[in-house]
Structure 1
Amino acid sequence: MTHELLTIGRISVDIYPNNIGVDLEDVTSFGKYLGGSPSNVAVAAARHGRRAAVITRTGDDAFGTYLHRELRKFNVDDSFVTPVKEWPTAVTFCAIKPPDDFPLYFYGRFPTAPDLQIKAAELDLGAIRDAGIFWSTVTGLCQEPSRSAHLAAHQARPRTGLTPGQYTVLDLDYRPMFWASEADAREQVARILPHVTVAIGNDKECAVAVGEGTPDEQADRLLAAGVEIAVVKLGPDGVMAKTRTERVVSAPVPVETVNGLGAGDSFGGAFCHGLLSGWPLAQVLDFANAAGALVASRLSCADAMPTPEEVTALLAERGRLAAGPYATEGATL
């Protein structure tokens, strides 16, 4: 089976508090969810009806069994998910303190984690080459053998330009606790960028990748590095996407924030759905922006990923109708 979206990298069990607005030490009960950004992106795309799979590794333990079960529940192909006997499945705790304080606490990731034990020799390069979209993250470059596996996977991808149907996406998700320095991260990103057609990141992530500057300057540097769509998240000002011939901005979609941690992953899955649908870039961006906002208004990540109908309903409610099969005939953004 050819996958419309194939992601690679982090997976974990997310332990989220049921008590909102308190510090972690004061939480009295928790919920358990599938987590890890590339895995969440696959779930988000599957919610939009896409054939999605993830390449990752778990511990050979009960939490690993749980993650397989959750992936299958969300219609994500788990055939590229394998166990590691030496290391336990990673677990991530967080506190939820709206509107903008969501500290993460990583367990089972130091000195390494199962998903950083992905090996180049074990990759199905044919599946990677043929996937409509291949999605990876900067975190997967932070140590070996994952670093070499990511490079081998990117080298297997064709350079297809902006022809709808096949893209290679790098999520610039820089997390400083996984790196020796920003310079180390920038060096590894520079090795991958020539194999990337789409790069997505916020101001800090783009600064680590290509240096400080305005959003337009950062986007231009990403384009100069070989990327063909540069997506720069603008925080409260929305999100911008830039190609060599086009610049579009999607304004924020206001919601009451409950948990902002999964918004970027929902954005990513919806963005992939729009690319695969062949929509104009402005419509892809607006749809993805609304999908991210919906998850920010909910407690969990994977379990909170919206359907196309929910995204379209939110855009319609805000007077911004989306493109695609659920749009009103002739609607524009």
Structure 2
Amino acid sequence: MPHEVLTIGRISVDIYPQDIGVDLADVTSFAKYLGGSPSNVAVAAARHGRRAAVITRTGDDPFGKYLHRELLRFGVDDSYVTAVPELQTPVTFCAIMPPEDFPLYFYGRFPTAPDLQIAAEDLDMDAVRQAGIFWSTVTGLSQESSRGAHLAAHRARPREALGPEQHTVLDLDYRPMFWSGEDEAREQIHSILPYVTVAVGNTKECSVAVGAGTPEEQADRLLAEGVALAVVKLGADGVLAKTPTECVISPPVPMETVNGLGAGDAFGGALCHGLLARWPLAAVLEYANAAGALVASRISCADAMPTPTEVLELLTERGRMVPELLEATT
């Protein structure tokens, strides 16, 4: 049976402090979690009951074994996760200093990482073509052979060949440490955009992709590239989404922030769920905003991904329930 959500790209072990509001140099205890944005999105989608898988690579080491075990624990198919014996599984450290300071430190990603060694010839193209949602990230375009694999996968899913319930999503997750500059990233983004039906990013990421401007202008430029749905995250102001016929601004769901690093991935997994459920756009955004808010209120990322019950309970508590989501609880 085809996967409802198939993601490709980064995976790592997140080493997060158990000491909140403390500089990393002064932290005394840590816990480890599955990490890496596309892997987190797959976990989030699985939490919403979707058949999810991730295409990625780890080192042939104990941390790689740990990530396989965690994916399976979360209900994510690990069939497309393979090892690169000569490389180590990446580890990511962060400091947790809410509400806005969460610096990340990447280890084992330079000069390359196992998940950047995904090769086109190793892809199961039938799985890519048949997936309900195929989710990739800009980081996956930053280096070969991952770049070629991403392009080959997208070429296997031309827009005109997609079914009415299929979506190809590009997460515009520009991270400057993986690129020589914005021009290089923009060039690679535009090699993929002709195959993308949904683009998701914050205003900075959208600026790298299509230039500076208001969120509405950035969304319009993405639509002009042929994208069917442009989602521009507005931080504390919520999210704006546009289609050729509709524009929706969804305000944030207020929550006390503990660790904001996983909120975008929770939003992504919930976005996938709402798109597959074929909810109206306003309902999709409400649900995804609430999922992101819940994870921002927790320490971890993958482990913190909420269930539908938790999301709907939060929306109800905040008086934000919309009819389509209310029906989903019955």
Fold shared, TM-score > 0.5 on shorter chain: yes
Aligned partner of 2:79 in structure 1 is: 79
Task: Please tell me whether the aligned partners of residues 160 and 167 of structure 1 are also in contact (alpha carbons under 8 angstroms).
Answer: no
Once residues 61 and 44 of structure 1 are traced to their aligned partners in structure 2, the CA distance between those partners, rounded to angstroms, is 25
Once residues 328 and 106 of structure 1 are traced to their aligned partners in structure 2, the CA distance between those partners, rounded to angstroms, is 40
Q: Give SS of 1:188's match.
A: helix
Task: Please tell me whether the aligned partners of residues 6 and 134 of structure 1 are also in contact (alpha carbons under 8 angstroms).
Answer: yes
Aligned partner of 2:136 in structure 1 is: 136
Task: Give deviations 1:171-230, integer Å, cap 9, x for gaps.
Answer: 000000000110000000011000000000001000000000000110001001111100
**Corresponding residue pairs, total:** 329
Aligned partner of 1:231 in structure 2 is: 231
Task: Give deviations 1:84-116, integer Å, cap 9, x for gaps.
Answer: 011100000000000000000000000000000
Aligned partner of 1:263 in structure 2 is: 263
Aligned partner of 1:159 in structure 2 is: 159
Aligned partner of 1:212 in structure 2 is: 212
Once residues 60 and 107 of structure 2 are traced to their aligned partners in structure 1, the CA distance between those partners, rounded to angstroms, is 16
Amino acid at match of 1:135: W
Task: Give deviations 1:243-286, integer Å, cap 9, x for gaps.
Answer: 11000011110000000000000000000000000100110011
Aligned partner of 2:318 in structure 1 is: 318
Once residues 183 and 157 of structure 1 are traced to their aligned partners in structure 2, the CA distance between those partners, rounded to angstroms, is 26
Structure 1 residue 290 corresponds to structure 2 residue 301: no
The 5-angstrom pairing of residues 58-137 of structure 1 reads 58-137=58-137
Task: Please tell me whether the aligned partners of residues 7 and 55 of structure 1 are also in contact (alpha carbons under 8 angstroms).
Answer: yes
Shift of 1:158: 3.6
Identity of aligned residues (%): 77
Q: Give SS of 1:170's match.
A: strand
Shift of 1:167: 0.1
Once superposed, what is the RMSD of the aligned Cα atoms? 1.3
Aligned partner of 1:203 in structure 2 is: 203
Task: Give deviations 1:10-29, integer Å, cap 9, x for gaps.
Answer: 00000000000011000000
Once residues 160 and 288 of structure 1 are traced to their aligned partners in structure 2, the CA distance between those partners, rounded to angstroms, is 27
Task: Please tell me whether the aligned partners of residues 50 and 273 of structure 2 are also in contact (alpha carbons under 8 angstroms).
Answer: yes
Shift of 1:327: 4.1
Decide whether aligned partners of structure 1 residues 276 and 164 sit closer, same or farther in structure 2, where only a CA change above 3 A counts: farther
TM-score, reference length from structure 2 = 0.98
TM-score, reference length from structure 1 = 0.97
Shift of 1:164: 4.5
Aligned partner of 1:11 in structure 2 is: 11
Q: Give SS of 2:244's match.
A: coil
Q: Give SS of 2:257's match.
A: coil
Aligned partner of 2:176 in structure 1 is: 176
Task: Please tell me whether the aligned partners of residues 312 and 325 of structure 2 are also in contact (alpha carbons under 8 angstroms).
Answer: no
Once residues 232 and 164 of structure 2 are traced to their aligned partners in structure 1, the CA distance between those partners, rounded to angstroms, is 21
Aligned partner of 2:222 in structure 1 is: 222
Task: Please tell me whether the aligned partners of residues 176 and 182 of structure 2 are also in contact (alpha carbons under 8 angstroms).
Answer: yes
Once residues 274 and 161 of structure 1 are traced to their aligned partners in structure 2, the CA distance between those partners, rounded to angstroms, is 22
Once residues 71 and 239 of structure 2 are traced to their aligned partners in structure 1, the CA distance between those partners, rounded to angstroms, is 29
Structure 1 residue 35 corresponds to structure 2 residue 35: yes
Task: Give deviations 1:131-180, integer Å, cap 9, x for gaps.
Answer: 00000000000000000000000000141599652000000000000001
Once residues 216 and 191 of structure 1 are traced to their aligned partners in structure 2, the CA distance between those partners, rounded to angstroms, is 23
Aligned partner of 1:305 in structure 2 is: 305
Amino acid at match of 2:285: L
Decide whether aligned partners of structure 1 residues 160 and 312 sit closer, same or farther in structure 2, where only a CA change above 3 A counts: farther
Once residues 325 and 217 of structure 1 are traced to their aligned partners in structure 2, the CA distance between those partners, rounded to angstroms, is 33
Q: Give SS of 1:216's match.
A: helix
Task: Give deviations 1:116-135, integer Å, cap 9, x for gaps.
Answer: 00000100011000000000
Once residues 146 and 299 of structure 1 are traced to their aligned partners in structure 2, the CA distance between those partners, rounded to angstroms, is 30
Decide whether aligned partners of structure 1 residues 42 and 160 sit closer, same or farther in structure 2, where only a CA change above 3 A counts: farther
